[in-house]
Amino acid sequence: MTLRTDLMTINIGPQHPSTHGVFRLRVTFDGEVIEEIEPVFGYLHRGTEKLAEERNYVQIVTLTDRMDYVASMTNNQAYCLTVEKLLGVEPPPRAKYLRVMTAELQRIASHLIAIGFFLQDLGALGTPLMYCFRERERILDLFEMLCGARITVSYMRPGGVYADAPADFWPALRRFLDDIPGYLDELEQLLMENEIVLVRTRGVSLLPLDTAINCSITGPTLRGSGLAWDWRKAEPYDAYGELDFEVPIGTTGDNLDRFVIRLQEMRQSISLVEQCRKRIEPGPVRLDLPLLLRPPKGAEAYARVESPKGELAFYMVSDGGISPYRCKVRSPSLINLTALSDMVVGWKLADMVVTLGSIDINMGEVDR
């Protein structure tokens, strides 16, 4: 017997650790079934793009750290590549390898957070999350050796990186690379053999590939739907063109695929860091550029990276001054929310929370 119910619209949020009071969902329910959903944001509104237009090109690096603060290295990288395009310069080879190494370590750290909180949304009550935090701490220790910071690192600079790696960095990196594959094996076995994880994610919130493409979805969310699109392969930057790696893809585009893709990508990141460690040669790590950079008047540049969440890009225009005339950020967390309605309408409240976790958004990047 089907019960007739009246539609009810409810404000929900924050229900994800990344949203901490600045994001809500306006959801219309028929019983527990979602009929309509609208993400509501703008409460944080940091104004990063306009702030960047009032700071010189080196100072802006610190602003990029605070967008996706779970992956600040890749934010630095996208910004520095854009400034280098404006200037028409290229960093030294050693700096390129250090950038790729730190960006891939950051990808592992970010994916560990994504997986840990995804499982928290499933009701895992903290234990898997603490396992993920445990390994992430070792990566943050490596960052601290490089630049003295753990979260908002500001390690990369236009023309290279802040400083070369100290001597004690390399043995610590070697120990981490030796340990992390076994940890990922343990994590994967713990989760992929868990009946609750499989039942709650397999076949849930499918995102068809054509819908993902039409919504400009990128990153693991797109690759989970079956398209092997990765800017590190499509348009290599820094040292990626010299390295070998695979692009994992899913088959159905459900919550399970988006979850598994991140597990597989961490293994590829380990391989990339190992390749960089073996190939890196002594040399300078930064170009000798003036503190106050002045790109040519009228110069404009667009540069992108494959951040842990998808395509992160900066568009900048120069008027010949020490600050950009215009700065615009293409943030994957904002764009990837576009498909949320397609993914959750017809599913239930409990599924919606898990699906939002599978997208892996960060509000500092959405309300930049």
**H/E stretch holding 195:** helix 195-201
Cα–Cα distance measured from residue 260 to residue 241, given in angstroms and rounded to the nearest whole number: 25
Cα–Cα distance measured from residue 312 to residue 333, given in angstroms and rounded to the nearest whole number: 9
Backbone angles phi, psi at 153, to 5 degrees: -80, -35
Return the SS3 of 158.
coil
User: What counts of helices (H) and strands (E) characterise the chain?
Assistant: 15, 8
Cα–Cα distance measured from residue 126 to residue 129, given in angstroms and rounded to the nearest whole number: 5
Give the residue, 44 or 294, on which the prediction is more confident: 294
Residue owning tokens 């790109």: 295
How many C-alpha atoms does 182 have within 13 Å on its Cβ side?
Answer: 5
Asked whether residue 13 carries a pLDDT value surpassing 80, the answer given is no
Asked whether residue 319 carries a pLDDT value surpassing 70, the answer given is yes
pLDDT tens, position by position, 66-100 = 999 999 999 999 999 999 999 999 999 999 999 99
pLDDT band at 1, cuts 50/70/90? low
Name every residue whose Cβ is closer than 8 Å to that of residue 162 and which is 6 or more positions away in sequence: 146, 147, 154, 155, 156, 286
pLDDT band at 313, cuts 50/70/90? very high
pLDDT tens, position by position, 91-117 = 999 999 999 999 999 999 999 999 998
CB 349 within 8 Å of CB 29: yes
Return the SS3 of 98.
helix
CB 354 within 8 Å of CB 203: no
Asked whether residue 288 carries a pLDDT value surpassing 80, the answer given is yes
Which residue spans within the chain are E strands per DSSP?
A: 8-12, 24-30, 33-40, 156-157, 160-161, 300-307, 310-317, 326-330
What DSSP designation does 348 have?
B
Q: Which of the four CATH numbers 3.40.50.2300, 3.30.70.260, 1.10.460.10, 1.10.645.10 does domain 8-366 have?
A: 1.10.645.10
Share of the chain above pLDDT 70, in %: 98
Cα–Cα distance measured from residue 21 to residue 41, given in angstroms and rounded to the nearest whole number: 10
Asked whether residue 20 carries a pLDDT value surpassing 70, the answer given is no
- 279, 282, 285, 290 alpha-carbon torsion, rounded to 10°: -140
Residue owning tokens 């990196």: 173
Residue owning tokens 């585009």: 253
Return the SS3 of 286.
strand
